[in-house]
Amino acid sequence: MERASNDMELVGMGLRVSVSPFQTAFYIFLVLMGILGNATVVGVIGKSIIMDRGGGRNSDIIIVNMALSNLLVSLMRNMLLILSDIGLEMYSSKEWCQFLMGVWVWLRSVNVWSTLFLSAFHLQTLRRVAPMAVNVTGSRGAPKILLMNMFLIWFINLLYSIPAHVFSTSGNINSTETLMLVSSTTRPLLGCIWNFPTRFSGLAYATTSMVLHETVPIVLMALTNLGSLYTLYTHNGMQSSVQDAPVIKRVPAERRAAKVILALIMLFIASWGTSIISVNYFNYNQGSSAEFLLVIARFANIIFIAMSPAVLAVGHRGLRTFFKSLLSH
């Protein structure tokens, strides 16, 4: 539960934890870095997908989907948090709060499952006995199954966000947040607060969120990455004896891709996992370290969004080419 204390103050956008100017500046830097980085990923890789007559590589389509969810989270929520940090006081009506709370939960949940989808897709690619023709010569269009899976990620999480739309309202300067979700709130924003009928129903929704959209995806990400590493290890053992197999010839490239995806998922697990521990310890224990936990959760939520474009830039050929061209000019 999130309650006011002597170290916290109620402002126009809700409960705000006291932070140093350095923390505020660093947070602003991370948010701007996330916006510029993910916009670059969407623009550069998205352009290559559009220009590719074959419809683009499947992994590129998934990366763009993940980066787009990162970008929307930054624009729809993190930019508003910056406005709160610099002291701009704004309130939303009940209708706007219901819309925004629903959107925040929707986008953050999509962000989690899109990241898991990238990891699972790469594992499935590595485990093929031989690569499909579309992976070598390019397909004639984006595969229907891939697009359907991404549609389901957005649609199912939209359904999950409906309670966030229904059970939220606009508070006032004397209102405090009594519940936090990693997927939406580590503090109230624009005066928007949860308004569940009972404490039990609020904790039930928070627990469901913690299990389905926070804990389960992280466990699955860890398992898929271990599976990818094991598959690459077995491929490496086969390389000397089956040199002509198409999948073996792709092992060096797939190993590089696996390292990039492994780094992405490890970064996500560290970022999201830290936020889960901080927020849910605070929800269920209401300890005295509220300010510390909120600050930790706040920065943990932005680290992956800010740093994932940099990780991709190291391992993605198209992004490397773009940045080399940018630096050369």
In which domain, by residue range, is 266 found? 21-130+143-171+196-239+251-318
314 within some domain: yes
109 within some domain: yes
11 within some domain: no
pTM of the model: 0.80
58 within some domain: yes
Listing DSSP states for 67-110 in one string gives HHHHHHHIIIIIHHHHHHHTT------HHHHHHHHHHHHHHHHH
List the CATH number of the domain containing 297. 1.20.1070.10
Predicted pLDDT at 66: 92
Q: What confidence tier does 8 reach under pLDDT thresholds 50, 70, 90?
A: very low
CA 187 to chain centroid: 18
181 within some domain: no
Mean pLDDT across the stretch 139-167?
A: 83
Q: What confidence tier does 287 reach under pLDDT thresholds 50, 70, 90?
A: low
**Exposed e or buried b per residue across 169-196, where buried means at least 16 C-beta atoms within 10 angstroms of its C-beta:** bbbeeebbbebbbbbbbbbbbbbbbbbb
How many structural domains does the chain have? 1
183 within some domain: no
Helix (H) or strand (E) holding 134: helix 133-137
Which residue has tokens 């993190």?
Answer: 78
271 within some domain: yes
Of 121, 147, 119, 120, the residue nearest 132 (C-alpha): 121
Q: What confidence tier does 34 reach under pLDDT thresholds 50, 70, 90?
A: very high
124 within some domain: yes
Provide the H-helix boundaries in 195-289. 199-210, 216-238, 246-249, 251-285
